[in-house]
Amino acid sequence: MIKKPKKSLGQNFLTAQSVVDKIIETAKLDSKDIVLEIGTGKGILTKSLLEKAKKVISIEKDDELISYLQEKFKDEIKNGKLILVHGDILTFDFEKYELRNNDYKIVANIPYYITGEFLRKILSSDIKPSRMVLLVQKEVAERIARSKKESILSISVKAYGEPKYIQTIKAGSFSPTPKVDSAVLSIENISKDFFDKINEKKFFKIVKTGFIHKRKFLISNLKPFGNKEKLKKVFNQVDISEKVRAEEVSLEQWKKFIKFFEIDN
């Protein structure tokens, strides 16, 4: 018997099969796919993944749910179609489960509170998925894929892949019902191609510094990289207004700053 969802794990179990169907459709699964699922929950999404994919590796942190899932999917576990992992995606060892770069897909209903850390871990990894389909907080999905205002997270996602807002999912599709709506977010064409000619670490150092005080003009936040006169020249050379804030700067514009700033390791 499953006990009440744990607030400490951010558990909101998906209950709507129509949402599951939309996620499966968006993931474009076939019989050759290996899928990494994060947050097995009660297995509603897992069941549909198993019907479409070659193999599912599903990670669940809750020890009480693990016992339930081992019984529910005992046949699939026995024949090797499902590998149920009792663990945390934030400490997950991709090599241990023989996942290879761009050779698997991620499908997940992830707890809101780990969204940023989860995306950073996956996208900066050397073993990245070919596609990700995620259920995330609606506001986060909008900021990543729809908003004209950028954030560190949205810039990070766009540097590695192409995010797309698929569909709003009402709060009533989950149990217990969260206080806000969710959304299906896809990220495709995941790679490190953006960093072929620029330093990844240096790029994010500049971006993070630029967002350190969101309400200030970007030129003020970038003071660690030069005095006022130098920064004015840089902004003129990269054709960015001195009156712009970090959230108004595009991915390609951030890239232009690279050659002008020296970054300490």
Give dist(CA 106, CA 94) in Å, integer.
Answer: 12
Query: Are the C-beta atoms of residues 68 and 2 closer than 8 Å to each other?
Result: yes
Give dist(CA 159, CA 157) in Å, integer.
Answer: 5
Which domains does the chain show, CATH number per domain? Answer: 7-192 (3.40.50.150), 200-260 (1.10.8.100)
Tens place of pLDDT for every residue, the chain, 265 residues? Answer: 454 544 444 468 899 999 999 999 999 999 999 999 999 999 999 999 999 999 999 999 888 899 999 999 999 999 999 999 999 999 999 999 999 999 999 999 888 889 999 999 999 999 999 999 999 999 999 999 999 999 999 999 999 999 999 999 999 999 888 889 999 999 999 999 999 989 999 999 999 999 999 899 999 999 999 999 999 999 999 999 999 999 999 999 999 999 898 766 5
Q: Please give the pLDDT value at position 264.
A: 61
Q: Is 52 helix (H, G, I), strand (E, B) or coil?
A: helix
Q: Please give the pLDDT value at position 96.
A: 94
Give dist(CA 52, CA 31) in Å, integer.
Answer: 6
Q: Please give the pLDDT value at position 211.
A: 97
Q: Please give the pLDDT value at position 1.
A: 47
Nearest to 2 by CA among 50, 71, 59, 57: 71
Query: Are the C-beta atoms of residues 130 and 104 closer than 8 Å to each other?
Result: yes
Give dist(CA 195, CA 3) in Å, integer.
Answer: 46
Which CB contacts under 8 angstroms, 24+ apart, belong to 4-12?
A: 5/175, 5/176, 6/62, 9/61, 9/62, 9/111, 10/111, 10/112, 10/113, 10/114, 11/41, 11/62, 11/111, 12/109, 12/111, 12/174, 12/175, 12/176, 12/177, 12/178
Amino acid letter, residue 78: K
Nearest to 136 by CA among 155, 153, 161, 114: 114
Residue 187 corresponds to which tokens in the numbers above? 């990220």
Q: Which pTM was predicted?
A: 0.90
Query: Are the C-beta atoms of residues 11 and 2 closer than 8 Å to each other?
Result: no
Nearest to 72 by CA among 80, 82, 62: 82
Q: Is 218 helix (H, G, I), strand (E, B) or coil?
A: helix
Give the ranges where the chain is alpha helix by DSSP (H).
17-27, 44-52, 63-72, 74-78, 115-124, 138-145, 152-160, 200-210, 218-221, 228-237, 251-257
Give dist(CA 28, CA 215) in Å, integer.
Answer: 41
